Amino acid sequence: MSDRELMYREALREALFEEMELNDEVFIIGEGIAERGGSYKVTEGLLDRFGAGRVRDTPISEAGMIGVGVGAAIAGSRPIVEILYVDFAMLGMDMIVNQAAKFRLMTGGKGRVPFILRTQGGTGGGVAAQHSQSLEALFYHIPGLRVVMPSTPADAKGLLKYALRQDDPVMFIEHKHLYMNKGHVPEGELIIEFGQADIKREGTDVTLIAWSNMVPRTLEAAEELATMGISAEVLDPRTLVPLDREAILKSVAKTNRCVIVQEAVRRGGIASDISSIIQEEAFYDLDAPVQIVAGLNTPIPFNLVLEQASVPQKDDVIAAVQSVLHVDTF
């Protein structure tokens, strides 16, 4: 085992380099992704290696670039469209929802759409209501789309490489707070199949389910809970579509309690759907109702203090665990 550590953004870049070397049909387009290397420096160096034909800056037109990507995928290429903020993907929703997600079924399985939309979501840095949303539930709701939200550098690399070898459209959603995070990434080929959850921390008293930037936050909560004598298991689905229901149910059967943590607003969220799965399929394993810790039902404020108050923090996770364990918090 190598002890090599990479930043999250470096792991993504490595995946892009490797897959573009393997397959000439892979190309990437987006705003400022070529000469500038992207706002988060994920695509730095790609232009020099692969040229302007495969690494191309676009005008500020998300609808246009998403349309180009979906059309190119249908025509046989493997495009990656980078959208700076997931909020801006709303400008291309017709192409994503009505074209990419449905084309394979509407052609009787003859057509394919190997299209990846790489983007980032979530709060951080006070970039306010139109640049801070967690919109994964919108795409989770649409049959035909795959939804991927890696939390670690290794997961980011392995899942992106797997995505680039699939024939279905993938919403690959990163988080602005994760790009500089470091983690172990093994040397050589790393492929992580969709639909395989990962236990980030073993535990026996309660299952904590979280994804994307809520994983490191939940792990911090688990560390503090351990000092209180509470053993928390942290499960990261890694992909929301497909969802590893078996791993979730197995963990809940083991711990008998569950807290689900999402950065997105509570109303209509993925946490509610996961909770319904547990309630329907593991009801008799539960010793307490499932708790959901989620963002407030409000647009994200510009003010940094209010921004922090609008999404789950470590102490919110700890309080929810204490509640399902009936621990006196006073």
Tokens read off for 291? 């708790």
In sequence order, the β-bridge partners of residue 235 are 199, 209
* Number of H-type helices and E-type strands within the chain: 12, 14
Q: Is 184 part of the annotated catalytic residue set?
A: no
CA distances (Å), origin 154, targets 23, 158, 198 = 21, 6, 12
**Structure tokens of 328?**
């006196």
Given 131, 175, 177, 326, the catalytic residue: 131
Strands 5-7 and 182-184: antiparallel
d(CA 210, CA 188): 28
* DSSP, residue by residue, 164-224: TT-SS-EEEEEETTTTT-EEE--SS-----TT--EEEE--SSEEEEE-TTHHHHHHHHHHH
Dihedrals φ, ψ of 160, to 5°? Answer: -70, -40
| 43 contacts 188 by C-beta, under 8 angstroms | no
What positions carry a catalytic annotation? 131
